Structure 1
Amino acid sequence: MKKLAALVSLLCVYTLSFAQYDENALKVLDAMSAKYKKIPAYSADISYSLVNETDGINEEFRGKITVKGEKYRLELDEQVVINDGTTFWTYLPDVNEVNIDNYDPDEDEISPSKIYEAYKDGYKYVYIGDETVGGTKHAVIDLVPNDKDAQYFKIKLFISQSDNSLTKWTMFDKSGNQYHYTIDNFNSGINPTDAYFQFDQSKYPGVEVIDLR
Structure 2
Amino acid sequence: MNTSKITKLIPFAVMVLTLIFQSSFAQGDKKSTAILDAMSTKYQKMKSFKALFTYTPEGGTALKGDVTVKGTKFRLKMAGQEIYNDGKLMATYIKETNEVNLQDFDPSSAGELDPTKIYSAYKKGFKHNFLQEKKDGKDVVEVVELTSTNKNSQVAKVQLLISKVDKTIKSWKIFQKNGQKVDYKVEQFQPDVAVADNFFTFNSKQYPGVEVVDLR
Q: Which residue is equivalent to 1:10? A: none
1:60 maps to a residue whose letter is A
Q: Which residue is equivalent to 2:80? A: 78
Using the size of structure 1 for normalisation, the TM-score is 0.79
Deviation at residue 88 of structure 1 after TM alignment: 2.0
Q: Which residue is equivalent to 1:42? A: 49
CA 1:127–1:109: 2 relative to 1, 3 Å: farther
Superposed counterparts of 1:1-213, under 5 Å = 21-51=28-58, 58-76=60-78, 78-105=80-107, 107-108=111-112, 111=115, 119-213=122-216
Deviation at residue 137 of structure 1 after TM alignment: 0.8
* Structure (1 or 2) with the greater helix fraction: 2
Cα RMSD, aligned residues only: 2.6
CA distance in 1, matches of 2:179, 2:89: 30
CA distance in 2, matches of 1:114, 1:201: 29
Q: Which residue is equivalent to 1:5? A: none
Q: Flag the structure with larger Rg.
A: 1
Using the size of structure 2 for normalisation, the TM-score is 0.78
2:193 maps to a residue whose letter is I
Q: Secondary structure at the match of 2:157?
A: strand
What count of residue pairs does the alignment treat as equivalent? 189
8 Å contact from structure 2 (residues 91, 102) kept in 1: yes
CA distance in 2, matches of 1:132, 1:92: 39
Q: Which runs of 5+ in 1 are unaligned?
A: 1-18, 52-56
Q: Secondary structure at the match of 1:156?
A: strand
- Identity among equivalent positions (%) equals 35
Residues 123-180 of structure 1 show CA distances to partners (whole Å, capped at 9, x for unaligned) of: 2100011122121111111111221221211011110001000111111111122122
8 Å contact from structure 2 (residues 53, 184) kept in 1: yes
